[in-house]
């Protein structure tokens, strides 16, 4: 028997991709919850309102809190959780419409990230297996502002699904810089909130190693100029994380 799914999508200013995301989800779920950051200022809400979804305004408290909030409102226990710039491909849609999920399982999907019109094949970005379908009675999102993860309350079996999620993450380098600045601030705030600090070696070599890992060890050079842009901006991301962390400490934040 087909396993009914609820879809949870978190969004802020995602007018570029929200329509495609929701159109694909409507083919696999009769219950879609859009957790919309109340600080969103573009046309995300207007586009979503035409897609037969439940739009739930949310005063932002971090990715985990937003995803758990959406899951708590779902009509079904099985939660398909996507970001607003992620779109299911036809292979995944076909599997999800006939899925029979075992209670003791969770499902991983391979994410293909795009940089503009380029599908990134290397740089540590692909393949990229992530949990996107889980049962809310057995798993919940951790309470991190950023880099959230699902935590199980019992032993579960992972299942890899065929197909891909196309992740239209960055329209161009300017868009990447904007998002990476946001992520860096969140990471610094998480360190302060948890009263932790980056290990000493990251202060001295973290950003440079990130460039080396992305461009050389993860073969970003095979992605050509796109791979170089990714490695360069990941270097800047790591530098900004440390910079914002210093600023928060100097301001007395805790």
Domain boundaries, the chain: 6-170, 173-250
- Residue 254 confidence class, pLDDT cut points 50, 70, 90: low
CB 133 within 8 A of CB 152: no
Share of the chain above pLDDT 90, in %: 85
In the CATH scheme, what architecture does the domain 6-170 have?
Answer: Alpha-Beta Complex (3.90)
- Residue 125 confidence class, pLDDT cut points 50, 70, 90: very high
- Residue 134 confidence class, pLDDT cut points 50, 70, 90: very high
CB 89 within 8 A of CB 49: no
Name which residue leads in pLDDT, 209 or 202.
209
Element at 252 (helix H, strand E): none
Which among 130, 118, 122, 206 is positioned nearest to 161, based on CA atoms? Answer: 130
pLDDT higher than 70, residue 253 = no
pLDDT higher than 70, residue 145 = no
């Amino acid at each position: 028997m087909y396993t009914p799914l609820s879809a949870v999508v978190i969004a802020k200013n995602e007018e570029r991709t929200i329509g495609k995301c929701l159109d694909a989800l409507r083919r696999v779920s009769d219950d879609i919850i859009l957790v919309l950051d109340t600080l969103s200022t573009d046309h995300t809400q207007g586009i979503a309102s035409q897609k037969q979804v439940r739009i739930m305004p949310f005063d932002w408290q971090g990715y985990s809190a937003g995803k758990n909030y959406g899951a708590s409102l779902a009509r079904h226990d099985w939660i398909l959780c996507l970001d607003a710039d992620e779109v299911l491909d036809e292979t995944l849609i076909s599997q999800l419409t006939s899925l029979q999920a075992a209670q003791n399982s969770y499902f991983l999907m391979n994410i293909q990230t795009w940089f503009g019109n380029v599908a990134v094949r290397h740089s540590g970005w692909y393949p990229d297996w992530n949990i996107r379908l889980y049962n809310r009675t057995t798993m919940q999102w951790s309470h991190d502002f950023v880099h959230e993860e699902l935590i199980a309350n019992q032993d579960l079996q992972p299942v890899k699904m065929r197909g891909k999620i196309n992740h239209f993450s960055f329209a161009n380098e300017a868009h990447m810089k904007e998002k990476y600045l946001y992520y860096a601030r969140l990471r610094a705030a998480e360190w302060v909130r948890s009263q932790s600090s980056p290990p000493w070696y990251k202060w001295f070599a973290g950003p440079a190693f990130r460039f080396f890992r992305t461009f050389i060890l993860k073969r970003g050079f095979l992605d050509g100029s796109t791979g170089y842009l990714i490695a360069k901006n990941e270097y800047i991301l790591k530098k900004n994380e440390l910079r914002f962390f210093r600023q928060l400490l100097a301001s007395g934040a805790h």
